[in-house]
Amino acid sequence: MPNCLTLKKSNCKNCYKCIRHCPVKSIRFSGNQAHIIDDECILCGQCFVVCPQNAKQVVDETEKVKVLLNSQNPVIVSLAPSFIANYDGVGISQMREALKKLGFADVEETAKGASVVKTEYERMLNEDRRDIIISSCCHSVNLLIQKYFPSELQFLADVLSPMQAHCIDIKKRNPLAKTVFIGPCVAKKDEAEQYSGIVDAVLTFEELSEWLKNENIQLNKEKDSDENTRARLFPTTGGILKTMALDTPGYSYLAVDGVENCINALKDIESGKIHNCFIEMSACVGSCIGGPVMENRHSSPVKNYMAVSQYAGKKDFELNQPDAVSLRKTFTIIDSKAKKPTEQEVMAILRQMGKFKPSDELNCGSCGYDTCRAKAVAIYQGKAEISMCLPFLKDKAESFSDNIVNNTPNGIIVLNENLEVQQINTAARKIMNIRSASDVLGEQVIRILDPQIFNDVLRTGRGIKDKRIYLAEYQKYVEQTVVYDNEYHIIICLMRDVTDEEKEREKKESISRQTVDIADKVVDKQMRIVQEIASLLGETAAETKIALTKLKESISDE
């Protein structure tokens, strides 16, 4: 299968929205990137529609069409009838006028091929008398049955699609012509590739609009009318049935749109509950007017339906109906390469995901899969990763965080802006002799700590780092760091118990003071001794001086 949908890896943000909306889970995740599995994809285009990052791209064939236009062959457009919903108020004549300016030889309505196909459906019901007939106009529905419901392939109408029937008719009337289909469908690009030689290229409405814009070609809002255009109803839910006679005796007729509804209907057929029924199936909700590349796909489906309904005529196109054989189309089973795991292998993967018992299987769908077991199967097939499980990651992150918070020697307290305790760890409870966290959680911090420092931080927005304070109530010294988280509006308090350090410091200071006191006393005593010695020395010197003076005087007298 050609890869009609591509992925811009740089834009994939690992949101899993595409896998949540993929009805057949044909997306593989690897290295935090989404990859479309071509062999399993039914090209419904839902991943393209829902991607919030525009990471999915439809392969653009504009350049391919320009090459065709530069050839010597006339290029004729088969324009899907949903154009009237995409280009509000613009009729087929105005579309033809604009497209001819691009170089196309002519523009015809695919509805002509739709009229041929519905007539063949009526013949099959009346002449072949098949038990169940499923319409084969929608290529995504065809792929769904070929890949996922092969036993129901026998009920799929082996008839060309309106696009193919019309393009074959164009080439029959113009043997040298090349054909280009323009419509709201991604899958038609694949259908054109699979059945080569019928449709030479496929453009989406978005591609056409971009081309017209680049060439400065304006579409004039003017609608023509033609009563022989009932087949224009085909792109609406039940549109095929609205063009059919619905008069085959014993048959029921119903229309089913949306892949999930189609899957449920196919399951009912598979179970043998349905018989004698013609089922119109469309992969898109609302049928083709709800196509993935309708430019106004986000607008009202009622408005789109009214646009088609009011533009359609009351009678069929006047055409020469080809013989049944020339309208035959062959469908083959497309086997999936994905292997199925055993129950033991599924259980082993579930255990790796932290699912040890049925109650652990939350089936929340955050990974994109409906159940944890479906996710486990996808992991086995290499389509998913264990890390895609949000509860698993949440539990892992919380466990990791709790281990760090509860085993750090530092006390941690988290407050909200109302100064209510939101979290407190073991170390903090030990510092303040709090028996259980539940005793203080949700309570005002004033119950356990002076709130002044928290008020200051909350008011100024400036944190306080390593402030040493004494908690008199707990007879503890702590170094306190308080910061305000502006993003999460919380106050975080870190406390390091420095009581032992403070006591050791006080002990050293006491010893120092005692040493200084002793030194002062020793110095004082020594000074007194010195003074006493000095005093005694002074008296002796004076006596000696007197004695010597007297001796000197007596010697002088002689």
Q: CA-to-CA distance for 262 and 266, rounded, in angstroms?
A: 6
Nearest to 432 by CA among 487, 521, 497: 497
Nearest to 202 by CA among 237, 160, 164: 164
Asked whether the whole model's pTM tops 0.75, one would answer no
| Token pair recorded at residue 36 | 């479309």
Question: Which amino acid does the sequence have at 34?
Answer: A
Q: Which residue has tokens 């085993």?
A: 407
410: DSSP letter: S
Q: Return the pLDDT at 2.
A: 47
Q: Return the pLDDT at 549.
A: 66
68 and 34 in contact (C-beta within 8 Å)? no
The tens digit of pLDDT for each residue in 517-540 reads 787 787 788 888 878 787 777 666
State the 10-residue block means of pLDDT for the chain, 558 residues long: 66 80 87 82 89 83 96 96 94 96 97 97 93 97 96 96 97 96 95 95 95 95 91 96 93 96 96 94 94 75 92 92 94 85 87 83 77 85 76 66 80 93 92 92 93 93 92 92 91 93 84 79 80 74 66 62
Q: CA-to-CA distance for 55 and 29, rounded, in angstroms?
A: 14
Query: 309 phi and psi, to 5 degrees?
Result: -60, -40
**Terminal C-alpha separation, the chain:** 152
User: Largest Cα–Cα distance in the chain?
Assistant: 182
List, in order, residues 6 or more apart from 160 with CB less than 8 Å away: 113, 117, 168, 327, 328, 329
| Token pair recorded at residue 484 | 């305000």
Question: Which amino acid does the sequence have at 226?
Answer: D
DSSP 3-state of 415 = strand
Q: CA-to-CA distance for 495 and 98, rounded, in angstroms?
A: 75
Q: Return the pLDDT at 522.
A: 77
198 and 192 in contact (C-beta within 8 Å)? yes
Handedness of CA 258, 264, 269, 270 (dihedral sign): positive
Q: Return the pLDDT at 552.
A: 64
Handedness of CA 533, 536, 539, 540 (dihedral sign): negative
- How many degrees, rounded to 5, is the angle at CA 338 between CA 334 and CA 344? 145
Handedness of CA 422, 425, 431, 437 (dihedral sign): positive
